[in-house]
Amino acid sequence: MRKFFATIMFCAMLLAGCGGGSNSPEDAGHVAVFFVSGHDTLFDGNSSKSYLQTTAGPDVVTALKSAGYSVETHYYADHQDVVDGYGGFNQLVSDLKFFRKGDKTKVVVIAHSHGGVWAHAAITQASQLTVDLLVDLDVSSYGWTFVAHDTLAIGGDPRNKYQGRYDVEDVVPNNVQTALEVRSGDHPPLIGIFLYEEYDEERNIRPDGSTARLEKYLSSTNHTEVHQASGTTMKYVNQWLINRLGGR
């Protein structure tokens, strides 16, 4: 009998030592996160640098790794071409089109401000790729013409493109499984205040007008806070990502 129990204990220890338990990081899988930054200054014609790699990016990576996922990151700037070593819209489209998901790989796209216009347009063009989760951080096309963005690549002016009301960043493509729309309730300076326009003034919809698998969160903070590392908004976003990915 002693030999039987000893054998059982040895097998249990062996399984635990080999990572056979449910808390093994290998159980969670792999996540590829595409971060698309917005404009880093207000109303100028200069190319904007990617900034999410120093704000929301590391915060998301830390959260996902703590939940047992391995993580790869891709960062893009608010431009059509390469800026300061970071690809713009063209690179984002190419990367999404040619990305190959592994058996346990999840694809997440996180965009802020003008980055939401580029992200939604790119996901639409990369229709063969299933994007598991999309996070819109106060995405907006406000001031799009002021910063001299090229609209040809995204099919024209992104504003009021659908039903004369919804912008490109307000419509979640069908190849996105689940999306979270974070709205700060913040107003752009000057014009936005006088016109009572918020950065993200419309709730997201699907191309058919439905709201299937579209979730929302009102941060009641401001346009910058929503992407700041360790801010109240990112804490919510990180937990949402883990919950929707099925992590612990």
Of 4-13, 119-128, 227-236, the one with minimum mean pLDDT is: 4-13
DSSP string over 16-78? HHTT-STT-GGGT-EEEEEEE---SSSS-SSPPPP-TTTTHHHHHHHHHHHTT-EEEEEEE-S
| Residue extents of the structural domains in the chain | 27-245
Q: What is the pLDDT of residue 178?
A: 98
Q: What is the pLDDT of residue 187?
A: 85
Q: Residue 240: pLDDT band by 50, 70, 90 thresholds? A: very high
Among residues of the chain, what percentage have pLDDT more than 90?
66
Q: DSSP class of residue 170?
A: G
First-to-final CA distance of the chain: 38
pLDDT of residue 124 exceeding 80, the answer is yes
Three-state DSSP class for 83? strand
Q: What is the pLDDT of residue 7?
A: 43
What are 23-62's pLDDT values in tens digits? 444 568 999 999 999 987 665 556 678 999 999 999 999 9
β-partners of residue 86 are 83
Q: Which of 201, 158, 205, 159 is nearest to 183 (CA)?
A: 201
The correct CATH number of 27-245 out of 3.40.50.1820, 3.30.365.10, 3.30.1340.10, 3.30.1490.20 is 3.40.50.1820
* Rg of the chain (C-alpha set): 21
Q: What is the pLDDT of residue 148?
A: 66
More confident residue, 219 or 78: 219
What are 57-114's pLDDT values in tens digits? 999 999 999 999 999 999 999 888 887 888 999 999 999 999 999 889 999 999 999 9
pLDDT of residue 224 exceeding 60, the answer is yes
**Do 234 and 59 contact (CB within 8 A), yes or no?**
yes
What are 142-177's pLDDT values in tens digits? 888 777 677 888 988 899 999 999 999 999 999 999
Q: What is the pLDDT of residue 10?
A: 39
Q: What is the pLDDT of residue 193?
A: 53
What phi and psi values does residue 121 have, to the nearest 5 degrees? Answer: -65, -40
